[in-house]
């Protein structure tokens, strides 16, 4: 799937089916985890897309990103956009219960990714409908294999649902109070710097590919492009979030 984030569209309905006992964020992270190793290396690593990689490396990678989300990104982003949804982990039992629910959510999310890929890819991940997935499909005077159409098509179709669910979640947990202008400006500045740095890094990456790199394998080009951009963005964004937490210690930016 070229748009890894599209896998996260399954997180809200799964959370609802479990009575919200499994955290939506951990489900979303788990659903993207098998692709996240590509943020660190350009080498292929098939184990992350096989059931034997459910615990190692996928669960370990998922736990690392959950630590980043709950310890860094979540408190910073919620401050920027004025969301208030505290996590109830005031005692050891509640903390242990939350950790166990995160682990279970990651396993469920990772499994959903492996199943989705197994139904939309024609390679080592395929576990059903192999003949159907290799059927040729004619679109816009070009012929594509069905699995490629499903990969890109389901990615694109999931994005509007992702946007709608994100807005709905924000409106549900938006705090009534006013967010200070300097907090908003800090957030916009960090995001802008992260985007500009990622764009520069991506342009440098494009120069190494020569002319018309998309002509040979558009799907692979889209995937590599997204990963190159995202890895640079996350590095700068993470540093910016750390700096913001230091400046906003004890909510000093509210004063």
**What's the pTM?**
0.91
Q: Give the tens place of pLDDT for each residue, 39-53.
A: 877 666 788 989 999
SS3 labels along 152-204? HHHHHHHHHHHHHHHHHHHHHHECCCCCCHHHHHHHHHHHHHHHHHHHHHHHH
Residue ranges of E strands in the chain = 136-139, 142-145
pLDDT tens digit sequence for 77-109: 999 999 989 998 889 999 999 999 999 999 999
Please state, in angstroms and as integers, the Cα–Cα distance from residue 103 to each residue in 9, 65, 69, 92, following that order. Answer: 19, 12, 14, 17
């Amino acid at each position: 799937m070229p748009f890894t984030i599209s896998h996260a569209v399954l997180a809200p309905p799964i959370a609802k089916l479990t009575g919200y006992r499994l955290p939506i964020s951990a489900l979303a992270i788990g659903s993207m985890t098998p692709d996240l190793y590509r943020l660190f290396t350009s080498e292929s690593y098939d184990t992350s897309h096989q059931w034997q990689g459910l615990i190692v490396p996928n669960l370990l990678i998922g736990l690392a990103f959950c630590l980043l989300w709950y310890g860094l990104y979540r408190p910073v982003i919620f401050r920027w956009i004025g969301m208030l949804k505290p996590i109830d982990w005031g005692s050891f039992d509640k903390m242990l219960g939350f950790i166990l629910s995160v682990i279970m959510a990651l396993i469920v999310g990772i499994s959903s990714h492996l199943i989705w890929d197994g139904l939309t890819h024609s390679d080592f991940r395929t576990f059903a409908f192999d003949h159907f997935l290799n059927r040729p499909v004619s679109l816009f005077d070009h012929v594509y294999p069905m699995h490629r159409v499903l990969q890109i098509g389901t990615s694109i179709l999931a994005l509007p649902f992702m946007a709608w669910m994100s807005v709905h979640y924000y409106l549900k947990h938006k705090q009534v109070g006013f967010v200070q202008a300097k907090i908003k400006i800090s957030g916009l500045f960090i995001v802008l710097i992260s985007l500009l740095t990622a764009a520069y890094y991506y342009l440098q990456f494009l120069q190494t590919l020569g002319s018309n790199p998309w002509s040979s394998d558009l799907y692979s080009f889209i995937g590599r492009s997204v990963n190159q951009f995202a890895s640079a963005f996350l590095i700068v964004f993470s540093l910016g979030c750390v700096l913001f937490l230091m400046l906003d210690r004890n909510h000093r930016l509210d004063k």
